[in-house]
Amino acid sequence: MKHAIPGIAAAVWLLAVITPVHAQQPQVINVPLSRPGEPVSLEIGIQSARIEVIGEDRDDVEFEITVADGDRKIVTPSGTQPLKGGGYSLEVEEEDNEIQIETDWRINKVSVLARVPRQTDVELHTMNDGEIIVSNVIGSHELYNTNGPVTARNITGSVIAESVNDTIDISFAAFSGDGASSMESINGDLVLGLPEGLGVTTHLDTSRGEIYSDFEVEVRPVQQVVERDKTRNGISIQIESVIIADINGGGHVVRMKSLHGDLTIRKNQ
C-alpha cells in the first residue's frame, strides 16, 4: 500500500484492532472511502481463511469478520480449562481508496466477507485450509490459495489465479484491459466459464489431465511460446510448448496450466 508523506498530503485511513469477547460472533466493520465513487483496491492476506468478496452498487466497503475458537487451554492446580476468544489481532487500513487487511501469525481460522464497490481491484492470499470466492467485481483479480479452491463468478477484467492442491473455477462476464489472464494449479482441475459469444485465445497445458470444451475450438499448429521479461540485471527468457486454441475467433489470452488436473471450458449458464 502506498503511504503519503506526513505533512505533505492528507490521507484518510482506518486502523482497527479487533478482540471480541466471543470469537464466534461476527464483527461488522464499515470503512468509508477517501474518494467515494472512484475505483478501489483491496488486498487481503491471511494465513488460514475463507475470503469472499462481493461487488455491489455502493460507495463504501463493509467487512463481516468471524474468527473460529481455538483449542488453547490453561492448566491450573485444580485442572485444565479451555480458552475461547482473544489471542489475535487484525488490522484494516484504508488510504486513498486502497484497503488492506492483515493479521498476525497467532490468528485461528478466520472468515472475511467483504462487500465492495463493483469497480475494485482485488488481491487475495491464503495458505492453509482456506477458500477464496469472488463475485460481480470489475477490475484486476489476483487470487492465490495454496491448499484450497479458488472460485470467481461473473467477473469482468483479468485474473491471475493459482492453487497448488485444489480446483480453480473462474467464470467471466467480459474481459477488459490489455493483460492476459492465467489459471495455474499443480494437482487441481481448472474450469473456465465464458459467455457464448466471447472471443478468447486459450493456451492449454496439462501433462496428465484431459481437456474438455463446450465450445468448438480452432486449434493452431503446436508451437513454442517465447516470453521475454526484463529483469534488474538483464533479461529472462521462458520457452514453452503449449496448445493454442481460439474460441469465437480468438481474443483475450487465457493461460490454463495444470500438471495433474483436467482443463474444462464451459458455457456460462
Name the pLDDT band for 94 (thresholds 50, 70, 90).
Answer: very high
- Asked whether the predicted pLDDT for residue 133 surpasses 90, the reply is yes
Higher pLDDT: 1 or 189? It is 189
Planar angle of CA 200, 245, 185, nearest 5 degrees: 85
Find the range with the poorest average confidence among 2-6, 128-132, 219-223, 239-243: 2-6
For residue 77, is pLDDT > 50?
Answer: yes
Q: What is the pLDDT averaged over residues 96-115?
A: 85
Give the CA distances from residue 31 to residues 13, 35, 112, 236, 245, in Å, rounded to whole numbers and listed in that order: 9, 12, 14, 41, 44
Cell of 88: 489475535
> Cell 477464496 maps to which residue?
132
State how far the Cα of 45 lies from the Cα of 49, in Å rounded to an integer: 9
In the structure grid, which three cell numbers stand for residue 190, read together?
481448472
Q: How far is CA 88 from the centre of its chain?
A: 23
Distances 167 to 161, 163, 164, 204 between C-alpha atoms, Å: 10, 7, 9, 16
Of 99, 85, 32, 24, the residue nearest 59 (C-alpha): 32
Give 170-184 pLDDT, tens digit per residue.
999 999 877 899 999
Could you identify the residue written with the cell 474438455?
A: 212
Write the pLDDT tens digit of every residue in 23-42: 467 889 999 999 999 999 99
